[in-house]
C-alpha cells in the first residue's frame, strides 16, 4: 500500500476521524470541569530543640547534635507514613468543619502525606486538601500531632534539651490539571484513537465489499 492509498483511506473516513477526536476532547474538558477542586500543599518542617545543653566540648557537641537531628528527622518522616499517626492528625481538625466531616467519612484521596527529608533538620511534607483553609488546618494539626509523638518519647527521660518540630504556613497550588494541558492530552489521545477507528472501519468496509 502506497502513501497516497493511506491518505485516501483517511479521506474516505474523515468524518469518523474528526468526530472521534472531538468526542475525546469534549470528554477531557468535561472531566476537567466535573473534577472536584483541590489544592496541593507543601509544608516545611524544621527539627529543633526545646533548649540548649551546655558543654565544654561545644564543637563536638554541635556535630553530634546535627547527626541526632538528622536521625530524628528520619523518624518524623516515618511517622507521617503511619496510618495511625495520619488518623490522629485528622482527628485534631474541628468536628464542625464540613471539610473535616468529609475527610472523616473516608475520602482516602486526601488522607495521605508524602514526607521527605531535605537536609539534616528540614522536612518537606506534601499533601492534598480541598482548599487553602483546610490545608492550613491540616498543617496545624500535623505539627501538633508530631510534637505529641515527640513528647511521648520524652515522657520518661524528661530531658531539658529535647526535640521539637516547628513549621510555617503551607504553600498551596491548584491540584487540578490546567485546561490547556487537559485539552492537549485529550487531543493526543483522540488522534491516536481516531487513527485506529479509521483503520478498523476501513477493514470492515473491505470485508463487506469482498462478501
**pLDDT digits 0-9 by tens, 4-20:** 777 888 888 889 999 99
Q: Percent of the chain at pLDDT above 70? A: 81
At CA 107, angle to CA 103 and CA 110, rounded to 5? 75
In this prediction, residues 170-189 reach a mean pLDDT of: 90
Q: Which of 22-31, 49-58, 102-111 is most confident? A: 22-31
Give me the CATH code for the 39-174 domain, please: 3.30.1890
CA-to-CA dists, residue 29 to 22, 26, 91, 109, 208, angstroms: 11, 5, 36, 22, 37
Q: How far apart are CA 179 and CA 185, in angstroms?
A: 10
Residue 51 has what pLDDT? 65
* C-alpha grid cell, residue 36: 472536584
pLDDT at 53 over 70: no
List of residues 6+ apart from 170 with CB closer than 8 A: 41, 42, 43, 135, 136, 138, 139
* C-alpha grid cell, residue 45: 518542617
Q: How far apart are CA 51 and CA 58, in angstroms?
A: 14
Answer with the residue of higher pLDDT: 194 or 210. 194
Name which of 5, 165, 2, 140 is nearest 73 in CA terms: 165
In this prediction, residues 129-156 reach a mean pLDDT of: 87
pLDDT at 101 over 50: no
Domain ranges in the chain? Answer: 15-35+177-210, 39-174
Residue 124 has what pLDDT? 95
pLDDT at 68 over 70: yes
In this prediction, residues 49-73 reach a mean pLDDT of: 66
Amino acid at each position: 500500500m502506497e502513501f497516497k492509498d493511506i491518505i485516501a483511506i483517511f479521506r474516505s473516513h474523515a468524518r469518523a476521524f474528526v468526530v472521534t477526536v472531538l468526542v475525546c476532547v469534549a470528554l477531557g474538558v468535561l472531566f476537567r470541569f466535573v473534577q472536584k477542586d483541590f489544592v496541593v500543599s507543601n509544608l516545611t518542617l524544621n527539627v529543633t530543640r526545646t533548649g540548649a545543653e551546655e558543654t565544654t566540648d561545644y564543637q563536638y557537641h554541635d556535630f553530634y547534635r546535627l547527626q541526632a537531628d538528622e536521625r530524628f528527622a528520619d523518624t518524623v518522616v516515618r511517622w507521617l507514613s503511619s496510618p495511625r499517626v495520619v488518623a490522629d492528625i485528622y482527628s485534631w481538625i474541628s468536628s464542625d468543619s464540613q471539610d473535616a466531616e468529609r475527610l472523616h467519612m473516608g475520602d482516602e484521596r486526601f488522607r495521605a502525606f508524602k514526607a521527605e527529608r531535605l537536609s539534616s533538620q528540614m522536612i518537606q511534607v506534601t499533601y492534598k486538601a480541598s482548599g487553602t483553609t483546610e490545608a492550613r488546618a491540616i498543617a496545624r494539626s500535623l505539627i501538633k500531632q508530631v510534637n505529641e509523638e515527640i513528647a511521648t518519647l520524652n515522657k520518661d527521660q524528661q530531658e531539658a534539651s529535647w526535640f521539637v518540630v516547628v513549621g510555617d504556613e503551607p504553600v498551596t497550588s491548584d491540584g487540578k490539571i490546567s485546561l490547556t494541558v487537559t485539552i492537549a492530552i485529550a487531543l493526543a489521545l483522540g488522534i491516536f484513537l481516531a487513527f485506529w477507528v479509521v483503520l478498523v472501519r476501513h477493514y470492515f468496509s473491505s470485508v463487506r465489499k469482498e462478501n
